[in-house]
Amino acid sequence: MKIVHAAGELYPYVKTGGLADAVAALSATLADRGHDVSVFVPAYRAALDHKELARAERRLGLRVEMGDRSFAGDVRVLPVKKGLTVYFIGREEFFDRRFPYGNGDRNYDDNDARFVFFCKAVVEVMRIAEIRADVVHCHDWQAALLPLLVRYEERRSGIALAMKTVFTIHNIAFQGVFPMRSFALTNLPDELLNIDGLEYYGQINLMKGGILFADRVTTVSPRYAREILLPEFGCGLEGVVGTRADDLVGLVNGIDTRVWNPAKDRLLPAKYAVHDLTGKPMCRAALLKKYGMDEAFKGPVFGMICRLTEQKGLDLLLAAKDFFVQQDCRLIVLGTGEKRYESALRELAQAQPKKIAFSLRHDEEMSHWIEAGADFFLMPSHFEPCGLNQMYSQAYGTVPVVTRVGGFIDTVTDIDEHPEDGTGITFAPTAAEFVQALQRALQLHGQPEPMLAVIKRGMTRDFSWQKAAAAYEQLYHQTI
């Protein structure tokens, strides 16, 4: 099949979260399975600076109409490997920025123009390069206009661009909502500006367009597919999702085992595997040393890596601070995000430098060190479409402590509820339950044999993208 992916981020060129990992691994795995895959992503500063971009061929001369103005752009074409080409859509004014969507506290004011431009440029490149796709697969709000734009361009030009479109919701909390006047940038007909189109409480909502107009809608776990039909998780789009309930399917992401495999991980101070775990305590000691903590410490080490936002349950972590202060344990947190959480974590770490560490940065290498060096990985999220770190943790022999929501339910089984095959500790997202879960972790850590059994079960679970990509392949076939 000829498959086009479009997304706002793509590992390793630019990443703010799991979207980048998912699109990279899915597209690469589909290429390995013999498909012809093109991926479109904006040419942000980080992408342009990436060493691989030196190999890209620069093609100029892209023009995109937005409203009554015409905008120039360019495209860099990177042949990554057999069957996989990445197209970087460039326009300095829009994408030559350090961060993809905003500067931490605020989204950029021109995100409407930036991503309308991106989607229109994808259509334009498909037309010019004569990419006739079997499936155009768009991810999240940044690419959500594509199902509509593809059809309108086909109607305008008389050229067939795509047989079918698929839209994947990676996180329904981010919808791309803009003032009504932004609609003019799309050059789509006014008839779409109503409740059955992009209109959303007097504004426009790009994700709504993706949900309504793609041939199939998917999300990143079966549980989240059910949750987003409910007001509690649908973030205002539950009614819109409901209209597509028959076309909605939840497929769990895999993990990229070329990047996340403790037996081959070159970023780690020591490698290890389920049949030989000797490298794991070495990673633990190296991690503790890195943070100025006693390498010989025997108690449990808790790790946490995430965007510092409300979603990730930072309120629950901070509410449990007495646990970390009073118990004989260590806590290492890596993340960036909202200032209120950054300063609270900084204060906590400064008050307890021997027990609690906080790194305020994005650091791929350190994320591997924490996954390998911690005994338990904390994910107290209030909602979680799929989540990746709970899968990385199991692969790395680090026991996940996760809330009973979304993708966690599909990927972590509780050790008390399933004594035979449990791989983690699960709890309802409340402060009291979180502390209880931490207590259970302490107890488990005090029992080396059961702890080892849980570790080994996690490490032998199959979270590979082969399984996930096969499910997408089947979905594409069904849709066509």
* Residues found near ligand ADP in the complex (CB under 6 A): 17-19, 21, 171, 305-307, 334-336, 362-364, 367, 386-389
Q: Which residues of 300-331 are buried (b: 16+ CB within 10 A; e: fewer)?
A: bbbbbbbbbbbbbbbbbbebbbebbeebebbb
CB 139, min distance to ligand ADP, A: 11
CB 205, min distance to ligand ADP, A: 20
In the complex with ligand ADP, the residue whose CB is nearer, 181 or 346, is 346
The answer to whether 35 and 67 have CB atoms below 8 angstroms apart is no
CB 45, min distance to ligand ADP, A: 18
SS3 181: helix
Name the phi and psi angles at 300, rounded to 5: -75, 145
- The CA distance from 5 to 304, in Å, is 30
In the complex with ligand ADP, the residue whose CB is nearer, 212 or 372, is 372
In the complex with ligand ADP, the residue whose CB is nearer, 127 or 340, is 340
In the complex with ligand ADP, the residue whose CB is nearer, 148 or 334, is 334
Question: What pairing do the DSSP bridges indicate for beta strands 84-90 and 69-81?
Answer: antiparallel
The answer to whether 307 and 336 have CB atoms below 8 angstroms apart is yes
Residue 101 CB partners (closer than 8 Å, separation 6+): 8, 16, 107, 108, 111
CB 413, min distance to ligand ADP, A: 18
CB 387, min distance to ligand ADP, A: 4
CB 362, min distance to ligand ADP, A: 4
In the complex with ligand ADP, the residue whose CB is nearer, 387 or 424, is 387
- The CA distance from 219 to 251, in Å, is 6
Report H helices in 158-303.
Answer: 206-213, 222-227, 231-234, 238-243, 279-290
In the complex with ligand ADP, the residue whose CB is nearer, 121 or 468, is 468
In the complex with ligand ADP, the residue whose CB is nearer, 42 or 335, is 335
Token code pair at residue 78: 């990177």
CB 255, min distance to ligand ADP, A: 9
The strand order across the sheet containing 425-427 reads: 356-359, 330-337, 301-308, 376-379, 399-403, 425-427
The answer to whether 57 and 80 have CB atoms below 8 angstroms apart is no
Closest chain position to ligand ADP (CB): 18
